[in-house]
Amino acid sequence: MATNSSTAAFYVVGLLLLIHSGYSSFEFHKLSIVSHYHGSLPIDIVLETVIAIIIIVIGAITSVSNTPVLSLKGEQINSRSKFLKFIEMKDAVTVIESIGLSDYEELNTRVGFINIIKKRREYSEWLGQST
């Protein structure tokens, strides 16, 4: 999963709130036993907990956003969708094609089928050109 700074910020804030509300709740239960108080949890602890959970869930949602891919030409390419990936074939392949690769790349560039003699000739011609 992509961890970016906003995700980390959401997680840190959410966890701090959750720990704080947990500690408050812990203290409240201790005190209520000592002072024989029989009431429900104060509303601010409840609110703090609910807000903390919502912040953590939002952090989790931001963490699943798509990361840009690096194309063969060194450009960063962003997907058209921000979070999820398209499941229809016609949409899904556009990103992969924009990199300059395909899913069947290993079939197109099989090492066993490379014509080494031709490659060598090309290379030596190139060497002769450049000097």
Partner 1 sequence: MARDIIYYNPSIDANKQKLQHVQDIASLALGVGAGVLTLESAYGFIFYFVGLTVANFLFYSICCENQPKKFFVKPLQDVYLAGIFTNIAGYIMMWCLVYALVKSSS
Partner 2 sequence: MITPDLLLDPQLKYWVLLPISFVMVFIGLLRSNITFLLQAPPKLEGFKAVREKQFLRRAASFKTNNQVLTEEEFEVRKQYFIEKLNSTDFYAKIEDSNQDPMSQLTDPGMNDALMNMAKGNVMNFIPQTVIMAWVNYFFAGFVVMKLPFPLTDGFKSMLQNGIATPDLNVRYVSSISWYFVNLFGLRPVYSLLMGGSEADALMSQQQQQSPLPNIGGPGGPKVDKLFKAEAENIQILSHESVFEGIAERVLESYGV
12 belongs to the binding site for partner 2 (CB under 8 A): no
105 belongs to the binding site for partner 2 (CB under 8 A): no
Q: Residue written as tokens 């079939």?
A: 107
93 belongs to the binding site for partner 2 (CB under 8 A): no
Single residue of 1, 43, 117, 127 touching partner 2 by CB under 8 A: 1
70 belongs to the binding site for partner 1 (CB under 8 A): no
Pairing mode, if any, of strands 69-70 and 76-77? antiparallel
Total number of residues that touch partner 1 (CB under 8 A): 39
16 belongs to the binding site for partner 2 (CB under 8 A): no
**8 or 46, CB closer to partner 1?**
46
> Residue 76: beta bridge partners?
70
Q: Which residues between 7 and 26 bind partner 1 (CB under 8 A)?
A: 14, 18, 21-22, 25-26
71 binds, among partner 2, partner 1, none (CB under 5 to 8 A by kind): none
27 belongs to the binding site for partner 2 (CB under 8 A): no
Instruction: Provide the sign of the torsion angle of the four alpha carbons 104, 83, 60, 14, taken in this order.
Output: positive
Q: How many CA atoms lie within 13 A of 38 on its CB side?
A: 0
36-49 burial, b at 16+ Cβ within 10 Å, e below that, comes to eeeeeeeeebeebb
